């Protein structure tokens, strides 16, 4: 068995998040401070108050947006007046060009009685007036388009700022956060340690303030040291005790085992995260309660086991001190956990052994040397098997590798072409 302490968590939970409007990047507010938050463990109904976000931060942005909106509105009105004045002057220029053109036409009509040189000069003046009139008309069209674009840009800028101010007002009215469902409020935990609390910040990238765990679907999250993790397998049964309720005992099952270990705080020891599914429901259970987990790594029938404190070592020997006989009894140990060791040879049921080294232990003789010789022989046989397996593996590696699809029967044959 493998023993560990864990912490109850909900496998599924509903997040209580900052207002969705905070996700709008046009607001240019990327994080807000939590100015008030109900106590962790508070039981709430759907729609109950949970937290308040910083009104002052949004209010400042709203005031800046409103000031900017007034400024851009004034600029828009000024742009309209400037455009009207510019286009009005341009229309006057066109009217003057039209009158000059009419005047030149009259001069041409009256020059038919004049000399050819005067007629030619009148025609040239008319042509010049005609071109000037066309240029002014075309210039007016371009100027009108230019002024319209200028006013449109001012209007778009004004509308964007107005829309931002409107959306900021919406966010301002949503800074009180309410629970989406009934349950127990649990503070959100940061991956690097700590929890979200009053004074913490929520952002557009991580808007979760707290969670409502599903207490009908619990797990116990625990950490197993690197010595015992090899004994833990997915699907193993677990006995779960609740420290807050010593009389309660639940059953569970290992559902996930981390592939990568992590360091314990202030220690060089490595541990692996293990999640245990808790079967059944209990209304008294709450998130973060401490659990005592007993993982049944393996079961052995009709097997003798002794406390691990009673096993002593001397070089390659493991032995125990007998109570009724002043000897060191050699044993053949089997699987072990933090508390007990299985014994396959050297002891029988009913034998009494010492948990502490007795006085005069250094003068006691060893018994069970045949067990030691047997263990030694088994180790040598195992070593020979491993050496043979290693040699076979190396031999296989040295064999020539056939190309994909090659027929071994054809290897070594020579093909002769004429």
Fold of 16-54+175-213: OB fold (Dihydrolipoamide Acetyltransferase, E2P) (2.40.50)
Identify the pLDDT of residue 341: 87
Return the SS3 of 270: strand
Helices (H) and strands (E) in the chain, counts: 3, 23
Distances from the Cα of 14 to the Cα of 120, 174, 185, 256, 317, angstroms: 93, 19, 10, 22, 57
CATH 2.40.30.170 fits 218-295, yes or no: yes
Identify the pLDDT of residue 156: 94
CATH 2.40.420.20 fits 304-373, yes or no: yes
pLDDT (tens digit per residue) in 4-20: 899 988 888 899 999 99
Q: What is the pTM of this model?
A: 0.56
The answer to whether 34 and 198 have CB atoms below 8 angstroms apart is: yes
Burial of 367: CB neighbours in 10 Å, binned 0-12, 13-18, 19+: middle
Calpha distance 153→145 (Å, rounded): 12
pLDDT (tens digit per residue) in 331-388: 888 877 667 888 888 898 888 999 988 888 888 888 888 888 888 888 888 889 888 8
CA dihedral 97, 102, 107, 109 (to 10 degrees): 150
Average confidence (pLDDT) per 10 residues, the chain, 418 residues: 87 90 89 93 92 94 93 93 92 92 90 87 90 92 92 94 93 94 88 84 92 89 89 92 91 93 78 92 85 83 84 86 88 80 87 89 87 87 88 76 56 44
Calpha distance 34→15 (Å, rounded): 16
The answer to whether 265 and 258 have CB atoms below 8 angstroms apart is: no
Identify the pLDDT of residue 19: 93
Identify the pLDDT of residue 340: 84
- Report domain extents, the chain: 16-54+175-213, 58-172, 218-295, 304-373
The answer to whether 263 and 225 have CB atoms below 8 angstroms apart is: no
Identify the pLDDT of residue 102: 92
Calpha distance 290→20 (Å, rounded): 35
Calpha distance 202→145 (Å, rounded): 47
Residue with the two structure tokens 């962790």: 40
Sheet holding 327-330, edge to edge: 312-314, 317-321, 327-330, 365-367
The answer to whether 347 and 334 have CB atoms below 8 angstroms apart is: no
Q: Which residues contact 198 (CB under 8 A, 6 or more apart)?
A: 34, 35, 36, 37
Identify the pLDDT of residue 283: 82
Both tokens of 211, joined, read 């969670």
Calpha distance 70→165 (Å, rounded): 11
Q: Which residues contact 263 (CB under 8 A, 6 or more apart)?
A: 269, 270, 271
């Amino acid at each position: 068995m493998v023993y560990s302490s864990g912490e109850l968590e909900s496998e599924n939970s509903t997040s209580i998040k900052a207002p969705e409007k905070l996700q709008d990047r046009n607001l240019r507010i990327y994080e807000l401070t939590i100015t008030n938050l109900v106590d962790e463990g508070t039981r709430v109904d759907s729609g109950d108050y949970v937290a308040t976000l910083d009104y002052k931060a949004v209010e400042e942005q709203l005031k800046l947006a409103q000031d900017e909106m007034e400024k851009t509105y004034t600029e828009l009105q000024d742009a309209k007046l400037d455009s009207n004045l510019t286009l009005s002057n341009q229309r006057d220029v066109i009217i003057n060009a039209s009158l000059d053109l009419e005047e030149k036409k009259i001069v041409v009509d009256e020059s038919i009685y004049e000399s050819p040189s005067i007629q030619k000069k009148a025609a040239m003046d008319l042509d010049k007036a005609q071109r000037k009139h066309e240029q002014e008309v075309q210039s007016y069209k371009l100027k009108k388009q230019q002024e319209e674009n200028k006013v449109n840009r001012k209007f778009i800028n004004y509308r964007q700022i107005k829309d931002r101010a409107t959306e900021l007002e919406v966010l301002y009215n949503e800074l009180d956060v309410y629970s989406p469902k009934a349950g127990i409020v649990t503070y959100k935990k940061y991956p690097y340690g700590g929890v979200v609390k009053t004074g913490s910040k929520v952002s557009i990238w991580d808007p979760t303030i707290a969670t409502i765990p599903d207490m009908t679907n619990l797990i116990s999250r625990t950490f197993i040291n690197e010595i015992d993790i090899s004994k833990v397998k997915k699907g193993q049964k677990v006995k779960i005790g609740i420290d807050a309720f010593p009389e309660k005992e639940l059953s569970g099952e290992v559902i996930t085992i981390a592939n990568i270990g992590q360091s314990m705080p202030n220690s060089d020891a490595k541990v692996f995260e293990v999640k245990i599914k808790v079967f059944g429901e209990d209304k008294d259970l709450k998130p973060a309660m401490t659990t005592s987990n007993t993982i049944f790594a393996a079961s052995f029938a009709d097997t003798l086991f002794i406390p691990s404190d009673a096993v002593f070592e001397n070089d390659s020997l493991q032995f125990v001190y007998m109570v009724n006989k002043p000897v060191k009894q050699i044993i053949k140990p089997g699987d072990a956990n933090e508390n007990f060791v299985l014994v396959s040879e050297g002891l029988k049921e009913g034998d009494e052994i010492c948990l502490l080294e007795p006085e005069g232990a250094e003068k006691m003789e060893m018994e069970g040397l045949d067990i030691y010789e047997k263990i030694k022989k088994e180790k040598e046989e195992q070593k020979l098997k491993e050496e043979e397996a290693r040699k076979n593996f190396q031999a296989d590696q040295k064999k020539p590798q056939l190309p994909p699809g090659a027929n071994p029967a054809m290897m070594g044959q020579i093909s002769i072409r004429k």
